[in-house]
Amino acid sequence: MRIAVTGTPGVGKTSACSKLAGMQVYRVYDLVEEFDAVTGYDRKRKTKEVDVAKLAKAVSKMEGDMVLEGHFSHMLKPDLAIVLRCSPKVLEKRLRKKGWDEKKVRENVEAEAVDVVLIETLENVPEVFEIDTTDMKPESVARAIKRIVSGERQKYRVGHVDWSEEVLSWF
């Protein structure tokens, strides 16, 4: 089975997946380089532009069970996707700690607040689950990912994460 671990930048995908012992994990950032899928550089957003279709095609030829970890892993035709979530307030702290500039922090906090990655994932992947990582350590997030993979899924159904109350308190 191909599992995508996705979510807004900074939610903790890499941290959680580094604790996934016994599973083959690929970082999407590494695959982009390996399969030569960079098409340019977006100076304004300081990010690489990626040919997602080319990357998806290359990934589809890889064999075996795998976890694809990265913020657009849900675009690489996985069988199942796990969207890591984080309360916007806490995400803001995590992103600032990473040293990101104000604009990039705001852009991502807003995206998390209005479920951008979740919606895109629901549009592209047949089975989708969510983990609220706000009060979890990366080790616990990794355990939750393993539970979902092994079929313990009820707790992680889409819809149990809702930032609307927090967002409304901004006004």
Ligand X SMILES: Nc1ncnc2c1ncn2[C@@H]1O[C@H](COP(=O)(O)OP(=O)(O)OP(=O)(O)O)[C@@H](O)[C@H]1O
Per CB under 5 A, residues contacting Mg ion are: 13-14
Report whether 51 contacts 76 (CB < 8 A). no
Q: Which of residues 97, 150, 151, 159 is near ligand X by CB under 6 A? A: 97
Token pair, residue 3, equals 């599992």
The whole-angstrom separation of Cα 117 and Cα 64 is 26
Stretch that binds ligand X, among 93-101, 118-126, 147-155, 159-167 (CB under 6 A): 93-101
Stretch that binds ligand X, among 6-14, 53-61, 114-122, 147-155 (CB under 6 A): 6-14
The whole-angstrom separation of Cα 38 and Cα 55 is 9
* Nearer Cβ to ligand X (44/61): 44
Q: Which of residues 56, 111, 136, 167 is near ligand X by CB under 6 A? A: 136
Q: Which of residues 2, 3, 4, 11 is near ligand X by CB under 6 A? A: 11
Stretch that binds ligand X, among 8-16, 113-121, 143-151, 162-170 (CB under 6 A): 8-16
Report whether 135 contacts 171 (CB < 8 A). no
Site for ligand X in 26-45 (CB under 6 A): none
The whole-angstrom separation of Cα 35 and Cα 50 is 11
Please tell me whether residue 48 binds ligand X under the rule CB under 6 A.
Answer: no
Partner whose footprint covers residue 141, from ligand X, Mg ion, none (CB < 5 to 8 Å by kind) = ligand X
Report whether 156 contacts 130 (CB < 8 A). yes
The whole-angstrom separation of Cα 154 and Cα 103 is 37
Classified as helix, coil or strand, 98 is coil
Q: Which of residues 141, 142, 145, 148 is near ligand X by CB under 6 A? A: 141
C-alpha dihedral (28, 82, 19, 97), degrees to nearest 10: 70
Residues in contact with ligand X by CB under 6 A are 7, 9-15, 71, 94, 97-98, 133, 136-138, 141
